[in-house]
Amino acid sequence: MFEVVRERLLGAGEKYDLVSFGDKGDITLYFKTNADDAASATVLALGRFQELLTATSLPALTPYAVHTYPAGTRPAPKLMGTKEVADILDKTKARVSQLKNSAGFPRPVADLHMGPVYLEADVLEYREARDSTTSRGSGG
């Protein structure tokens, strides 16, 4: 089901500003809007979310968090290339290039001439999931 949701959301890219997919099935959608206050911005974002669900014929997804930021103050997602990913995972760039094709590895938000671009939050979540699996598998 997650792949169906992912494909439909990616096909509706004009309906949101940025999307991120986590390994645990979470999806982060970013909307930009002009509103007089946080409450109005939240109502507008939820309306756009509902429009997106309708346009993509997705089942009823429920947002579990809405964050609003005054214009110009929203923290930009931290982006990173293969070198930064390698540093976080304590791997070589070559090993990261191999891992990017494995199940559960974060998908790049862009593929540029210089290489794939990842969201730091996705890479940190992957590392956490990998480390918890490794510690369970080794008995502690």
Spatial contact of 79 and 18, defined as CB atoms under 8 Å apart: no
Q: What is the domain partition of the chain in residue ranges? A: 2-56, 79-137
pLDDT of residue 140: 46
Helix H or strand E segment including 112: strand 110-112
DSSP 123: H
pLDDT higher than threshold 90 for residue 105: yes
Indicate the fold that domain 79-137 takes in CATH. Answer: Multidrug-efflux Transporter Regulator; Chain: A; Domain 2 (1.10.1660)
Residues 122/110, Cβ–Cβ less than 8 Å:
no
d(CA 41, CA 70) in angstroms, rounded, equals 9
Region of poorest pLDDT, from 14-18, 29-33, 52-56, 128-132: 14-18
Q: Tell me the per-residue pLDDT of 10-43, one tens digit each, with 9 for 90 and over.
A: 777 677 777 777 666 677 777 777 788 888 888 8
The answer to whether 94 and 83 are in contact (CB under 8 A) is no
What's the pTM? Answer: 0.50
Cα gap 72→28, rounded to integer Å: 19
Between 105 and 22, name the one with better pLDDT.
Answer: 105
d(CA 69, CA 80): 23
